[in-house]
Structure 1
Amino acid sequence: MTDTCVIFAGGDPVKSETVDKAILENAFIICADKGYALAESLGVEADIVLGDFDSLNYTPSGDKVMCFPPEKDDTDLMLAVNRALEMGAKRIVIYGACGGRIDHMIGNIACLALIAENGANGTIVGDDDIISFHMPGEFSVPYKEGFSLSLFAYSREVKGLAISGAKYSVQDCTLTDSVTLGVSNEIIPPAAKISFTEGRLLVIQSRL
């Protein structure tokens, strides 16, 4: 069992300064397909490398490599997420999962939904975006200089939404999946506090 798992995926690479070195120190590292090249470029050693390796264009060698056929139901990132959840990870941080094809990006967000549904905390971290997915409850989003804060309903409705510590605060708001009400808020340092009672919520911090 591991508390924290870091996954490197095959989307847009991230800069070295984007990666939280403190998290890496005690995390189990999984590379999904081309994420192996990203980890190597950052000097990070993987504990598991998995995928069909169609994006990496070669199959790594070694006993830590898990090969899958290209014709499969899950994306390489979803395979990695499922592996992390099977290991008991409660915190999953994903690098290299932003940018690229829109269908892949939506699939990556689905991976965050699966993580949240399994009671774990998942975050996709890119150079210009930080994405997290939340089930009902209360949480905080730390201030990050130069980044906005946007909230989207990932269910028909998000009810009982409250936001404090931000330029635009609300109490007992209902956010639906067909409005842009939650786009481009601003966090007041040190953090925004968010809570809601029903639904599923997608939180995105984007570089301005």
Structure 2
Amino acid sequence: MNKCLIITSHVDAIEKLAINSADYDCVICADGGLLVANKLKITPDLLIGDYDSMAMPENTDLIKLPMEKNMTDSEAAIDLAVSKGYDDITVLGGLGGRFDHTMGNIGMLAKYSGSNTGLTFVDGCNRVFMLEPGTYEIPKSGHRYLGLIAYGGTVTSLTIKGVKYPLVNHLLTDDTTLGVSNEILSDSAHLNFRKGRLLVILSSDVDNHSR
């Protein structure tokens, strides 16, 4: 797989992160994500944005977007990565801060759900991705909690094992908090479901996060 790291301008609990840019084939900074990259001592390969949150950098590998457009800089960065053939994309940030941006980024997970592109949002407390029907093993990845949210409708025949609160053939609706704050008991959990889209959130409290 071709791996790409996208760095956004808002990353919660950045001090909890340990990112090795050598693990990625390409690093793209979306707008003010360049300032975050500088803090993490990461040199990006590409820059994209309208630069409304920072001065436009002097860089030849820069795509300048108009201030008025029909997408966020984060979406533009994700689309750019996909257009360049990257099929394993990690977005650093994009969770927390302005809630409309957060919800828009959840929409990005839905946009590429079911495609050949694996998309994950990560910050210092959370790892968020979306699953289509199937059978999966979910590594704990150093997080305390596991949240399962039905996205855009119901998730049918949901079974999850290896967790504090298991489910068997459960109908998970999108109007409940039932799937929130579960816990993986060992290294990973096992789940499967037949229909729907499942938003998976691995998380830890801000002041109690180990990776």
* TM-score normalised by structure 1 residue count: 0.91
1:189 maps to 2:182 = no
Shift of 1:20: 3.5
Question: Which of 119, 123, 134 is the equivalent residue of 2:116?
Answer: 119
Output aligned runs, 1:142-161, within 5 Å. 142-145=139-142, 147-161=144-158
Aligned to 2:45: 47
Opposite residue 62 of structure 2, the aligned amino acid is V
How far 1:15 sits from its partner (Å)? 3.0
How far did residue 128 of structure 1 move? Answer: 1.4
CA distance in 2, matches of 1:199, 1:97: 24
| Unpaired stretches in structure 2, ≥5 consecutive residues | 206-211
- Work out whether residues 159 and 170 of structure 2, in 8 Å CA contact, stay in contact via their aligned partners in 1: yes
Partner of 2:171: 174
| In structure 1, distance between residues paired with 2:38 and 2:177 | 39
Measured in 1, the distance between the counterparts of 2:138 and 2:189 equals 5
CA deviations on 1:96-152 (whole Å, 9 max, x unpaired) are: 222211111101111222232423221111111221111112222212445211100
Alignment partner, residue 101 of structure 2? 104
SS at match of 1:168: coil
1:69 CA displacement:
0.4
Match of 2:57 in 1: 60
Q: Percent identity?
A: 34
| Residues 13, 40 of structure 1: alpha-carbon distance in 2 compared, 3 angstrom cutoff | farther
- Whether 2:1 is the aligned partner of 1:5: answer no
**Structure 1 unaligned spans of 5+:** none
**2:68 pairs with 1:76:** no
Q: Which residue of 1 aligns with 2:89?
A: 92
Moved more, 115-124 or 162-171: 115-124
Length-normalised TM-score, structure 2: 0.90
Q: Is the 8 A contact 1:5 1:92 kept in 2?
A: yes
Aligned to 1:20: 19
Give the whole-Å Cα distance in 2 for the aligned partners of 1:46 and 1:146: 27
